[in-house]
Amino acid sequence: MKFSAKSEYALRALIDMVGYYGQGTVGIREIAQRQGIPERFLEQQITVLRKAGLVKSQRGAQGGVTLARAPEDITVHEVIEALEGPLSTVTCVGNNASDCAKSTQCALQDLWYQVGLAAEHVLRGMTLGRLAMHQVCYDQSMQPMYYI
């Protein structure tokens, strides 16, 4: 299973936004610079996330974006589904199963279905809040230690 750059970049931006949750909006330009994401590309993903109800935006001099809900209430599954559409590991599973000539007698279809369920379980169980906590731990472990 492979997710596109738009999911990776959007998740990085959302994790960045977790640190500002409850403090007002943060500028897309600032997020893009901190995360090394092309600003125009990020703007497109933010538009999709806004339409999905995951972020709120405000225009103007004090404008920017903020999470629409608490970080603990937004799952990675919601984000990826908003950007990529419904998850499916292969075309013969899910809504497209009827397109497969072997759809009722295929061991591979069963396997891909199970893989999809496992992936969905992991993505539904991971929230932006938990991801942000993991990122803080990684960031702290990367800081140099000075001993006297």
The domain that holds 42 is classified in CATH as: 1.10.10.10
- For residue 88, is it within any domain? yes
Cα Rg, the chain, nearest whole Å: 19
d(CA 147, CA 138): 20
- For residue 142, is it within any domain? no
d(CA 102, CA 106): 6
- For residue 148, is it within any domain? no
Count of structural domains within the chain: 1
pTM: 0.82
d(CA 106, CA 67): 42
- For residue 121, is it within any domain? yes
Range of 23's domain?
Answer: 5-132
| Tokens, residue 90 | 């292969």
Which residue type sits at 58?
Q
Note the pLDDT tens digit of each residue in 97-130. Answer: 566 666 667 888 888 888 889 999 999 999 999 9
What pLDDT sits at residue 70? 97
Among 90, 11, 3, which residue's Cα sits nearest to residue 46? 11
Residues 6+ apart with CB under 8 A from 87: 1, 77, 80, 81, 116, 119, 120, 123
Note the pLDDT tens digit of each residue in 8-47. Answer: 999 999 999 999 999 999 999 999 999 999 999 999 999 9
What pLDDT sits at residue 132? 92
- For residue 9, is it within any domain? yes
- For residue 82, is it within any domain? yes
